[in-house]
A and B are shown apart, each in its own frame.
Chain A
Amino acid sequence: MIDLRLEKILDAPSGKMNLVFEEKIESGQFVAITGKSGSGKTSILRMIAGLLQADTGHIFVGNHTWYAKDKKILVAPQKRKIAYLFQDYALFPNMTVRQNLEYALDLKQSKEIVDELLQAVELEQMAHRKPQTLSGGQQQRVALARALVRKPDILLLDEPLSALDQEMRSTMQDYILQLHRRYAPTTILVSHDRSEILKLADELIILEDGKVQKRGAPIDVISSAKLGGKFTFMGEVVAIEQQEFLYILTILIGRDLVKVIADQEELEDLEIGNKVVVSSKAFNPIVEKIL
């Protein structure tokens, strides 16, 4: 379990902001943190990683103390078993894909994990290439694989997919889920993308002006009112058409366009581009054999 209490005065765009983050995270959990830019999300990750020092507080991970202001303990980033996935990948340009992974190996650690991870992110064919010759999605897969080489206890994902297009994002999310299941590191994801959060995280924390505003299951926190739906999807409104009394919404869910009927009331504060939750309580789904 991770027990965090982090306090720091940050220079936010709107002036000085006091960040106070006091949370406990069970090991193996996948927690997402969201909030407006400048709300302190990245600073929290950086403090957990040891790249930024809190003004006061503590970080207890299992039986270890990584930071305790009162005991004057501050463990260097090198000594924390963490992995950090940066938004711009931070791959080493002078090394090939394989060398990037091998660099991460601890002394005496067996090289098998390198092949295992290259296989898991399906990059064996690219192993000898330099990172800058790969696409953005491939580079982020290398970074993800590299982050997991040391089998970290904590995986920190700092808006890792924001530079990728929608399709690539979806593929990367699958890789992240799959690797999270396999290696089960406690994972903290900073993200703006609600569908990403719903797909990946067990828990969501909303941060506002340096304070935790809400915490809970992502669907509850995002849609605030409990829907209790059996089927729930996140999507984006791409078109609104009026047809006599009703409206037809075209919603992009994942990679599919879905048409949904809506009445005047539901449409009130909807605009094209809005993110929406599509759910249904009682309906009769059609089951059809496809394979």
Chain B
Amino acid sequence: MNWDPLILTFQLATITTLILFVVAIPLANWLAFTRSKWKPIVETFVSMPLVLPPTVLGFYMLVAFSPSNRFGNWLEAYLGISLVFSFLGLVIASVIYSLPFMVQPIQSGLSNLSPQLREASYVLGKSKWTTLRKVLLPSIKPSLLTGIVLSFAHTVGEFGVVLMIGGNIPGQTKVASIAIYDEVESLNYAAANNYSMILFVTTFTILLSVYLVNGAYVRKKYS
């Protein structure tokens, strides 16, 4: 059995999750506490990947990143990177595609905290950043864990976006979900089953452990 697609899938999911964690915290923090009139618009953009067919997202990214397009051309000419049919392109697409899965749990975790927690910290002379880092984030560990796991699992389960922007290059962009499709197309059901079973078991284990951990945390905190 060829392990490359599975390794690639988990590499992609790990990198995507790491990037998302860094990007989502400031974004979720802003969304949770802002009174800006732009908030609904930003919120809509963040949530779009939940409802939009992944192929739509993939299609527009394919168009935008393609060297025949001005932006894609600029990327290739000045930065020397090509985002179409490359691992880097997959990472960027995945970050956008899984954004709501990281942002929403963190945002709702933050906005459910008592506002007095923040105010108490400000009054003690601590900046917004210190407050976020030392008080708010440690108080929403279950939400952080949920965000991390959902983004990871969602990236593992990606298909449409990857197919559109990554194609099917072994070792580069051929992730497990694509490999399954590929094997089925060539009527190789045994190989498809191997990949599928591994994905099935892994995602089941990951999600189960989150529910167990969060359940225990909630029980400990409120019992």
**Is the CB–CB distance between A49 and B117 below 8 Å?**
no
Residues of A within 8 A of B121 (CB): 92, 103
**Is the CB–CB distance between A104 and B124 below 8 Å?**
yes
How many residues on chain A are close to B (CB under 8 Å)? 25
Restricting to B81-140, which residues have a CB under 8 Å from any CB of A?
114, 116-117, 119-127, 134-135, 138-139
Residue of A nearest to B125 (CB): A78
Interface residue SS majority, chain B? helix
Which residue of A82, A88, A93, A106 is within 8 Å of B123 (Cβ)? A82
Residue of A nearest to B128 (CB): A78
Q: Give Cα A179–Cα B65 distance, bound, in whole angstroms.
A: 65
**Is the CB–CB distance between A51 and B122 below 8 Å?**
yes
Residues of B within 8 A of A83 (CB): 123-124
Q: A92-B139, A94-B139, A132-B221 are in contact. Are A84 and B119 (CB under 8 A)?
A: yes
Total inter-chain residue pairs, C-beta < 8 Å = 57
Residues of B within 8 A of A134 (CB): none
Residues of B within 8 A of A86 (CB): 116, 119-120
**Is the CB–CB distance between A150 and B120 below 8 Å?**
no
**Is the CB–CB distance between B117 and A106 below 8 Å?**
no
A73-105 vs B, CB cutoff 8 Å, 1 = contact: the mask equals 000111110111010101111100000000110
Which residue of A50, A88, A150 is within 8 Å of B124 (Cβ)? A150
Residues of B within 8 A of A94 (CB): 135, 138-139
Interface residue SS majority, chain A? loop
**Is the CB–CB distance between B120 and A90 below 8 Å?**
yes
Q: A132-B221, A146-B124 are in contact. Are A77 and B116 (CB under 8 A)?
A: no
Q: Give Cα A275–Cα B114 distance, bound, in whole angstroms.
A: 34
Nearest-neighbour CB distance to chain A for B127, whole angstroms, equals 6
Nearest-neighbour CB distance to chain B for A44, whole angstroms, equals 15
Of residues A50, A90, A93, which shows the largest number of chain B Cβ atoms within 10 Å of its Cβ?
A90
Nearest-neighbour CB distance to chain B for A290, whole angstroms, equals 43
Nearest-neighbour CB distance to chain A for B45, whole angstroms, equals 30
Q: Which residues of A contact B (CB under 8 A)?
A: 49-51, 76-80, 82-84, 86, 88, 90-94, 103-104, 106, 132, 146, 149-150
Given A79-B125, A84-B123, A92-B139; 13 other pairs, CB 8 A cutoff: A50-B122, A51-B122, A51-B123, A76-B122, A77-B123, A78-B122, A83-B123, A86-B119, A90-B116, A90-B117, A92-B117, A103-B124, A103-B135
A-B contact pairs, 16 of them (CB 8 A): A49-B123, A50-B122, A76-B122, A83-B124, A84-B120, A86-B119, A86-B120, A90-B117, A91-B120, A92-B117, A92-B135, A92-B139, A93-B221, A103-B121, A104-B125, A150-B125
